[in-house]
């Protein structure tokens, strides 16, 4: 465990909401002290919007908090550069898929770095792992789950009895073969493992025992997660739109090939809306990081807004709400700056008088008490399924108390130093208070 947890504060187990179980469960790594995480990355047929980045920021906070608690983390994130939408977008733009993907991937990581996120340990491009996808499809077929059609190979969902448990499907009706990745209604659809090449695919094709073509979207993540993290790993993350059909299909593929669930926990972030309307590339109701940057919005402020609500709760973007959150964040940052300045001040001559040693001891206890309360409040909120909303509420309240004490002259430099130290630890996870 992290050294700072071996102190007087009680250590609490972390509880996370597992979508498959439909409840919070106590988290512990399956093996050793390293948490193995797979996160669904961007489909780089278009720029990622701030709704996408809400999910990536939730995952960044998760990784940082696991490290804060003393765990090692191995995180793998995919880049979906082989899919129907990418081929269609490249064709409409009159460029090759690969040229379009390179530019969009570069822009994606520029925004990523600007928002202060940790890079994944492994960034896996789908196009670089096609042979592994072919091998996994062969394993699934050998276990009797495949349907071979003229246009490709499909997973026969009727042979997998557990299909629909992640989504908690209310309609288990069978609708036959799905011709794309987006289903018209919820239910049982045979989904594509391999698509045979057609003229519209251009040069996007690979050789395989199933004929020339390309992998389906869902098999990409299954093959890459299993390759880097094993048949069963600790946590699979994504947006709530990934639950069905994407993650539902990953469970089916993984279980069909190995007889095991791919992940022990399934975590999903809710959508970001604009004026109560879903943010989506397909509808054009989007805001991009660069748009807000052009309006003078600092990346740290945008980061705060996107993690200010618990990840499982909806978050709506309006200008009024955004400005209100920014005032909160700016006030907290100003207080931290004031405390840092106070901590750097030399203690006055008055401390040299008789009894100053006893006063310094009392002052130090005050600072330590505030710091311990702040850390305990932060950890208690975060251990409860990453409740960032509660964490910020507690931090801001205690910073307000510290400011009041400083303004009234009750806070000495040593007190301020203790409090700033606690804020710096916390900001190593949140990265919004100007300390990290």
* Beta carbons of 161 and 235 less than 8 angstroms apart: no
Burial profile 53-62: b = 16 or more Cβ within 10 angstroms, e = fewer: bbbbbbbbbb
pLDDT at 427: 97
pLDDT class of 436 with cuts at 50, 70, 90: low
Please check the confidence at residue 349 and state whether its pLDDT lies above 50: no
**CB within 8 Å of 428: residues ≥ 6 apart:** 64, 68, 435, 436
Q: Please, what is the end-to-end C-alpha distance for the chain in angstroms?
A: 21
pLDDT at 20: 98
pLDDT class of 435 with cuts at 50, 70, 90: low
The structural domains of the chain, with segments of one domain joined by +, span: 15-295, 320-430
* pLDDT tens digit sequence for 158-199: 999 999 999 999 878 999 999 877 777 899 999 999 999 999
pLDDT at 363: 52
The DSSP-derived string for 325-350 is HHHHHHHHHHHHHHHHHHHHSPPPGG
* pLDDT tens digit sequence for 71-100: 999 999 999 998 888 888 888 888 888 888
* Beta carbons of 193 and 219 less than 8 angstroms apart: yes
What distance in Å separates the CA atoms of residue 150 and residue 26, rounded to the nearest whole number? 47
pLDDT at 294: 83
* pLDDT tens digit sequence for 111-164: 999 999 999 999 999 999 999 999 999 999 999 999 999 999 999 999 999 999
Please check the confidence at residue 351 and state whether its pLDDT lies above 80: no
Tell me the two tokens of residue 378. Answer: 């932060």
pLDDT at 290: 87
pLDDT at 348: 46
Taking residue 394's Cβ as centre, other Cβ atoms within 10 Å add up to 19
Residues 388, 394, 397, 402, CA torsion sign: negative
Q: What is the dihedral of CA 184, 248, 83, 121, to 10 degrees?
A: 150
pLDDT at 46: 84
Residue matched to tokens 């390293």: 34
pLDDT at 279: 81
One of 3.30.1360.30, 3.90.1580.10, 3.40.50.620, 3.30.750.24 is the CATH number of 15-295, namely 3.40.50.620
Q: Provide the mean pLDDT of the chain.
A: 90
* Beta carbons of 60 and 118 less than 8 angstroms apart: yes
Please check the confidence at residue 353 and state whether its pLDDT lies above 60: no
* Beta carbons of 300 and 431 less than 8 angstroms apart: yes
Please check the confidence at residue 3 and state whether its pLDDT lies above 50: no
pLDDT at 121: 98
Mean pLDDT of all residues in 286-300: 86
- Among candidates 284, 134, 115, 307, which has minimal Cα distance to 207? 134
Tell me the two tokens of residue 290. Answer: 């660069």
**CB within 8 Å of 189: residues ≥ 6 apart:** 157, 175, 176, 177, 178, 183, 245
């Amino acid at each position: 465990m992290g050294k700072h947890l071996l102190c007087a504060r009680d250590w609490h187990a972390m509880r996370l909401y597992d979508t498959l179980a439909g409840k919070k469960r106590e988290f512990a790594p399956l093996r050793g002290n390293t948490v193995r995480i797979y996160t669904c990355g961007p489909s780089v047929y278009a720029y990622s919007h701030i709704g996408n980045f809400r999910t990536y920021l939730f995952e960044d906070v998760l990784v940082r908090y696991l490290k804060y608690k003393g765990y090692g983390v191995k995180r793998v994130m995919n880049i979906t550069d082989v899919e129907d939408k990418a081929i269609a977008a490249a064709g409409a733009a009159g460029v090759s898929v690969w040229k379009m993907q390179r530019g969009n991937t570069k822009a994606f990581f520029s925004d990523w770095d600007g928002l202060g996120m940790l890079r994944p340990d492994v960034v896996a491009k789908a196009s670089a792992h096609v042979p592994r996808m072919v091998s996994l499809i062969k394993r699934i077929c050998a276990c009797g789950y495949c349907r071979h059609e003229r246009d490709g190979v499909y997973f026969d969902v009727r042979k997998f009895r557990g299909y629909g448990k992640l989504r908690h499907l209310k309609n288990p009706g069978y609708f036959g073969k799905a011709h794309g990745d987006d289903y018209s209604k919820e239910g049982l659809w045979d989904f594509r493992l391999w698509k045979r090449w057609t003229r519209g695919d251009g040069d996007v094709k690979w050789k395989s025992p199933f004929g020339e073509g390309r992998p389906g979207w869902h098999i990409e993540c299954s093959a890459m997660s299993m390759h880097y993290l094993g048949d069963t790993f600790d946590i699979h993350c994504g947006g709530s739109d990934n639950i069905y059909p994407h993650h539902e299909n990953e469970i089916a593929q993984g279980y069909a090939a190995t007889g095991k669930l791919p992940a022990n926990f399934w975590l999903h972030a809710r959508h970001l809306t604009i004026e109560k309307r879903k943010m989506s590339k397909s509808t054009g109701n989007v805001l991009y990081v660069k748009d807000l940057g052009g309006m003078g919005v600092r990346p740290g402020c945008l980061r705060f807004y996107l993690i200010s609500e618990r990840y499982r709760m909806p978050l709506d973007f309006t200008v009024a709400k955004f400005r209100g959150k920014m005032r909160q964040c700016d006030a907290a940052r100003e207080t931290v700056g004031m405390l840092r300045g106070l901590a750097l001040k030399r203690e006055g001559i008055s401390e040299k008088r008789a009894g100053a040693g006893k006063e310094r001891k009392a002052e130090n206890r005050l600072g330590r008490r505030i710091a311990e309360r702040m850390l305990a409040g932060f950890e208690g909120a975060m251990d409860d399924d990453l409740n960032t909303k509660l964490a910020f509420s507690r931090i801001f309240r205690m910073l307000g108390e510290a400011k009041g004490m400083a303004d009234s002259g009750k806070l000495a430099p040593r007190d301020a130093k203790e409090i700033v130290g606690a804020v710096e630890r916390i900001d190593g996870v949140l990265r919004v208070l100007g300390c990290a």
